[in-house]
Amino acid sequence: MTRADAIAGARRQLHSGEFLAELDRRVAYQTESQNPARRDCLRAYLEEELQPAFSQLDFSTRLIESPTGKCPYLIAEYREAASAPTVLMYGHGDVVDGMVGEWRDNLDPWRATISGNRVYGRGTADNKGQHSINLSALSAVREARGGRLGFNAKFIIETGEEIGSPDLRQVCETLRDELKADLFLASDGPRLSADRPTIFLGCRGGLRIHLDVNLRDGAHHSGNWGGVLANPATILAGAIATLVDGKVIAGISPPPGTHACRVYSDSGGILRATPPLDLICAALLKDAATGKHGVVGRSRWQATVASLPAIGTALLPKLTCPLCLPAYAALLSALGLEFFDYTPYLLPLTLTFLAVALGALAFHARRTGHWIALMTGVAAAAIVLLGKFTFELDWLNTAGIGLLVIAILISMRRKTSPMLPCPACVESGSQAKAGVH
């Protein structure tokens, strides 16, 4: 047997129409793995078409169920001698959507149609044509060698390649020992040209990634939040762009004078579709400090309410004087309460309420940066205590109360701060003007 004899046998199969008849029969199986309604076709293709074909070549076959129950596998093995080398071949019997009615000249995707020197039909090029060629080649070699191949051969045929081969890895790991071979031949790729047979010694693999960017709950209108909050879409765009040699290829610097702020340059000089993280954090902290988005706005009225008891106790007279006694008693009786001499507890009550008021101002100052309001409140508290309990001067006590009110008003005022410059604007010569966040 010579190589020329095997090639001559393969030519006879082609020119006699035997090969094209087999291919036409296999194309007729509508093995669309992306269509759940075609599950039975996938199994029928393996059982009714491929298993008999392998049996004619003295292969033993068995079906392997998919771990997820979606797409079965066919394992075929021909063992000639333990000392002979073993070739493992791969193919897949599933195809993509047939797209009936969308082929040119209204070709039937489920028939192998000859047009010139080409054969059209779903699966003729991916992958029924390839593993059919391999089976025909084995048949030609076997015939030329008098019923022997001269090597051991194994096949694994899957039916889920067009949906990402969801169970292929698990099946191969389970059958690790059974699939051992000296050479792996995967016939599932193009030729460099139609008239030039091609053998690829290696190719890049693929990694399927599902990436979600979930930054926050709910919707945030771009008119209010655009440029402040990071946009998941631009983050995804930047992530996809970095897949090309690890470099960002999307986006360019805005032309000078356009005041565009849509492209940002990080510390390494790489253009990105989103602002650098430190710039985003700084902007969010600035806006949070001013209560623009309702984050801190609640603490303003909380500080006001917390200060009211301190003002009330500061207004109470130190001694229950005869002029105040009737008014005080009338107020308590109107509330349904008995007369109560508060004077022994006035100092601790005043201290307590002043401490609460200062605590509220301090909490608000820590979040907003209104430290002047806190210092004014501390001075007001000291003046109230000195005027009421040390010097017993009403005017000094009243001044302390007034200063405490001023501290509250200062804490309620929005803080004005310069806007952080956009790196793109800085590079283009445009400077951000000061404004209210």
Over its C-alpha atoms, the chain yields an Rg (Å, rounded) of 42
* Helix %, strand %, coil % of the chain (to 5): 45, 10, 45
Please answer whether residues 276 and 284 qualify as being in contact, where contact means their C-beta atoms are separated by less than 8 angstroms. Answer: no
pLDDT tens string 89-143: 999 999 999 999 999 999 999 999 999 989 999 999 999 999 999 999 999 999 9
Convert 295-314 to b/e letters by CB count within 10 Å (16 or more is b).
ebeebbeebbebbebbbebb
Per-residue b/e over 141-158, b at no fewer than 16 CB within 10 Å? bbbbeeeebebbbbbbbb
* Euclidean distance between CA atoms 240 and 170, whole angstroms: 28
- Helices 18-27 and 128-144 meet at what angle, rounded to 10? 150
> Residue 206 in contact with residue 165, Cβ under 8 Å?
no
At residue 269, the pLDDT reads 64
- In the three-class reduction of DSSP (H, G, I as helix; E, B as strand; rest coil), residue 74 is classed as strand
Provide DSSP, 226-257: BTTBPPHHHHHHHHHHTTTTT---S--PPPTT
Predicted model pTM: 0.52
Of 73, 228, 100, which Cα lies nearest the Cα of 154?
73
Ranges of each domain in the chain = 3-186, 297-412
- Residue type, position 16, single letter: S
What is the C-alpha to C-alpha distance for residues 221 and 229, in angstroms, rounded to an integer?
A: 10
Report the C-alpha gap between 286 and 290 in whole angstroms: 7
Q: What is the pLDDT of residue 420?
A: 45
3-state secondary structure 106-142: HCCCCCCEEECCEEECCCCCCCHHHHHHHHHHHHHHH
Start-to-end CA span in the chain (Å): 87
Q: How many CB atoms lie within 10 A of CB 236?
A: 14
Count of CB atoms within 10 A of residue 177's CB?
6
pLDDT at 48: 97
Query: Which portions of the chain are predicted below pLDDT 50?
Result: 247-255, 257-262, 291-298, 417-437
Contacts of 170 (CB under 8 A, 6+ apart): 67
Task: Report cis status (omega within 30 of 0) of the bond before 127.
Answer: yes
Helix axes 346-368, 394-412, angle to 10 degrees: 30
Tokens of 284: 């969010």
Q: How many CB atoms lie within 10 A of CB 368?
A: 22
Q: What does the CA dihedral 301, 307, 311, 316 come to, rounded to 10 degrees?
A: 120
**Per-residue pLDDT at 209:** 78
Of the candidates 237, 81, 212, 258, the residue with the CA atom closest to the CA atom of residue 153: 81
Non-local CB neighbours of 404 within 8 Å, separated by 6+ positions? 307, 310, 311, 314, 357, 377, 380, 381, 384
DSSP string, 389-412: IIS--HHHHHHHHHHHHHHHHHHH
- Burial environment of residue 435 by CB neighbours within 10 A (0 to 12, 13 to 18, 19 or more): exposed
Homologous superfamily of the 3-186 domain (CATH): Zn peptidases (3.40.630.10)
At residue 89, φ and ψ (nearest 5 deg) are: -115, 150
pLDDT at 21: 96
Identify the pLDDT of residue 117: 87
CA–CA gap between residue 219 and residue 111 (Å, rounded): 51
